[in-house]
Structure 1
Amino acid sequence: MSFTTLIKTLAISVLMIVFSLPVSASTRKEAFDHNTFHQVLQKYVDENGYVNYNALKSNRTELDSYIEALAHTSPSNSPSLFPDKNSKLAYWINAYNAFTLRGIIDNYPTKSVRDIHALYGFFWRIKFTTGGKKMSLRALENEIIRKFNEPRIHFAIVCASEGCPRLSREAYVPERLEA
């Protein structure tokens, strides 16, 4: 390859990169931000997965802020923020866990979720809003999360009971779901 051909090829490559950058940067939307929920988990969940519900109830602003964001935005009404399966799944797992925490602190102190609206009423009767749509934890788990056909969800969604998986101290994010 001659020196002139090499320079032309290099110049064309640089121009292609330069002209493609503004297009991809201007059309790309930011992903849904789970950082607020991550901060809640860092502050109120210990290394063993136990939640300090008393402290969380006393300082609920961050959790309420995250739940407000969930109420307005979801993969259903803002699909551009959730471009792939992992971004959708991370959203729904975090929503389920955040709604569970909210349901507990709204009824705290309580010894068990079974004491809230009797036996399984906590999962059936309490409604939360996601993307403008009200739904129960049961509906969220069975009508949305299970449809991902992802067996690992059983280790990610928590029901705030001793027999359930431990709550992670980190919010789920799409990039780390495969880890």
Structure 2
Amino acid sequence: MATSPYRQGFSLVELLMTLLLTSTGLLGLAALQGKAIRHTLMATQHQSAILLAQDLLEQLRADAANAPAYHFERLPASDVALDDCQASGSPLTIAQRIACWALDVENKLAAARALEHEFHLCHSSQSGLCNGGSSLELQLAWQPAGNGCALPGEQPTATCRYRLRTEP
């Protein structure tokens, strides 16, 4: 029986090395996928906070004559039914509009009700201080998914906060 000078196929060592390199690459991709999902969820929650803040400030600007009625030092009670908020019948009172907004907050931001003391809408002279200054400040808070809330280069915290300051 003559042996061919040309080798055909792969050796077991070559197959094992290929399997090792491929599995290492796939494990890296799986880790990146998990991080991507967490970051997407955090970005979604942050975007929801921005939209909720803008929504409330638009309501306040549309009803500027009653602006003091919108002020709060904790997340307002959401003692309305979702159907009442979505009904297109009679106009809602200020208290009902704020309660509908609070219900929206509870539905879109994780653990918002547990962090109700972190919310405020007030006049402020400096960030985080409700002291009757000229700026209007709105702060929302939620518990983030994953390893906490942080901007690049910062230590993660257990609570995310979005603070918007504007001139009335």
**TM-score of the aligned structures, taking structure 2 as reference length:** 0.35
Which structure is higher in helix share?
Answer: 1
**Bigger radius of gyration among the two:** 2
Larger relative CO (CA 8 A, sep 6+): 1 or 2? 1
Which structure is higher in strand share?
Answer: 2
